[in-house]
């Protein structure tokens, strides 16, 4: 969420599973090139690495299939965009009630990353799901829906 620091963590954890990584600053990050066609193994490793709790195999297969529709340059440019974009200034411009939902076992964003987001968005509220990974809404869709409904009800009063 806050640029190269987060991506470096992802690269260190997922290494060869990533299609491409490039980061400036101290230490940098390894560069992994990806060519067409994107391999199923890479897509499966990438998608499964986002979750901590079990997710339906059929759902994950759909996400993998959809991911494979993107050519290698889309994967590379998406990751490049994540590396080069520091969203803190943009986050400070969010002036509406905001709910941040995270898993406490998120392999991508740390509690410090989330705190940076909370500090940047005035009045943001945090809900942490124990035992969940990066895509909490995949792992616990009903609970996340309840969280959002409760937050919305509070905001609309």
Element (H, E) at 3: none
Give the pLDDT confidence score for residue 1 in this predicted structure.
38
The token pair that represents 61 in the structure block: 């297969």
* CA 98-14-107 angle, 5° bins: 30
Q: Does domain 88-156 have CATH number 3.40.50.11320?
A: yes
- Pair 133, 53: CB distance under 8 Å: yes
- Pair 122, 95: CB distance under 8 Å: yes
Give the pLDDT confidence score for residue 91 in this predicted structure.
83
pTM, rounded to two decimals:
0.73
Give the pLDDT confidence score for residue 9 in this predicted structure.
52
Domain extents for the chain? 8-84, 88-156
Report the residue count for the chain.
157
Mean pLDDT by runs of 10 across the 157 residues of the chain is 46 52 36 78 88 91 95 84 76 88 90 88 92 94 96 90
Give the pLDDT confidence score for residue 157 in this predicted structure.
83
| Helices (H), ranges, 103-157 | 111-120, 136-139, 141-156
Give the pLDDT confidence score for residue 21 in this predicted structure.
44
| Helices (H), ranges, 85-123 | 88-92, 111-120
Give the pLDDT confidence score for residue 17 in this predicted structure.
53
């Amino acid at each position: 969420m806050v640029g190269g620091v987060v991506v470096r963590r992802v690269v260190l954890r997922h290494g060869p599973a990533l299609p491409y990584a490039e980061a400036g600053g101290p230490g940098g990050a390894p560069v992994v090139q990806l060519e067409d066609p994107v391999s199923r193994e890479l897509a499966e490793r990438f998608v499964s690495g986002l979750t901590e709790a079990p997710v339906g195999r059929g759902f994950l297969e759909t996400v993998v299939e959809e991911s494979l529709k993107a050519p290698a340059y889309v994967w590379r440019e998406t990751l490049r965009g994540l590396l080069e974009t520091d969203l803190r200034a943009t986050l400070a411009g969010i002036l509406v009630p905001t709910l941040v939902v995270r898993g406490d076992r998120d392999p991508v964003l740390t509690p410090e990353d989330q705190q940076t987001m909370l500090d940047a968005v005035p009045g943001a509220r945090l809900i942490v799901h124990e035992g969940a990974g990066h895509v909490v809404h995949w792992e616990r869709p009903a609970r996340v829906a309840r969280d959002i409904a409760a937050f919305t009800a509070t905001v609309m009063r």
